[in-house]
Amino acid sequence: MSITSVEAIKVSVIQDFKEITKMRLALSVVFSSVAGYLLGVETISWSTLFLLAIGGYFMVGASNAFNQIIEKDLDALMNRTKNRPIPSGRMSVQTAFIIATLFTIAGIAVLYIINPKTAMFGAISIFIYTSVYTPLKTKTPLAVFVGAIPGAIPFMLGWVAATNDFGIEPGTLFMIQFFWQFPHFWAIGWFLFDDYKKGGFFMLPTGKKDTKTAIQIILYTIWTLVTSLIPMFGMTGDLYLTPVAGALILILGIALLWFSIRLYKKRDAKTAKELMLASVIYITLLQIVYVADKFIR
């Protein structure tokens, strides 16, 4: 075997590992967890921050690997997933299961080192995503509501890691990311509607790309904005936003609402994809504003 062939195999293995654990998604989850930690901590512990990042990556990687094992036959039917490691035949189910199991054990163990509550929420996230959300995706649009629970845990997980406590503050962070996921995932479900249909997935609330779905996207965008502004009114304990930060969040929220309204008016895949991208920018900038506001004031 030539050196070139060996290098190609190495690249393929690394690429498959990235895909089975959904590295980009995992890194976005790590970002949310780190933001939550910085919001909750009084004195930054770099060792805890490192453990949170590693544990968070393991947690999401495990969920995604289990998800791809369960959905391997359905993934083979859809254009966007048919080249994933398992349906393409590049990775066996056994190998994927080993990765998922090791990531689960390692993730919970690493988060437990931080504190037991953090490990508990990490375990809950893996369980709901794998055992409840994944099977429901082919049964009912309510799967998105269930999937929003593990999806909302990372932001609050950081606060719990920092304080070893669950109260109004991490609960608020949870609700922000919970409501945010509806316009985000329904936008994805809209522009990938035909592909999802091949796999039998029900992602849109009405099951159709219709006016009712577009209205629900607008309503949940409004809920996202309202929830994001609650810390400005001093009702969320140690989680607080200054008026300047609140104004910035309001501007971001209005922009996201504008994209949601555009989808209602146009109802096409291009506008849905723009809304999805806008939602990613929204939650990223929101977390940056929250953290910056804490350390600047």
Angle separating helix axes 46-70 and 3-21, nearest 10 degrees: 90
CATH at residue 7: 1.10.357.140
Domain that holds residue 63: 1-165
Q: Identify whether residues 47 and 6 lie together within a single domain.
A: yes
Among residues 165, 191, 222, which one ends one of the domains?
A: 165
Q: Identify whether residues 274 and 180 lie together within a single domain.
A: yes
Question: How many domains are there within the chain?
Answer: 2
Per-residue pLDDT of the chain (297 residues; tens, 9 = 90+): 545 544 545 557 788 888 888 888 888 989 999 999 999 998 999 999 999 999 999 999 999 999 999 998 888 888 888 888 889 888 899 999 999 999 999 999 999 999 999 999 999 999 999 999 999 988 888 889 999 999 999 999 999 999 999 999 999 999 999 999 999 999 999 999 888 888 888 889 988 899 999 999 999 999 999 999 999 998 999 999 999 999 999 999 999 999 999 999 999 999 999 999 999 999 999 999 999 999 987
Sign of CA dihedral 128, 142, 144, 228: negative
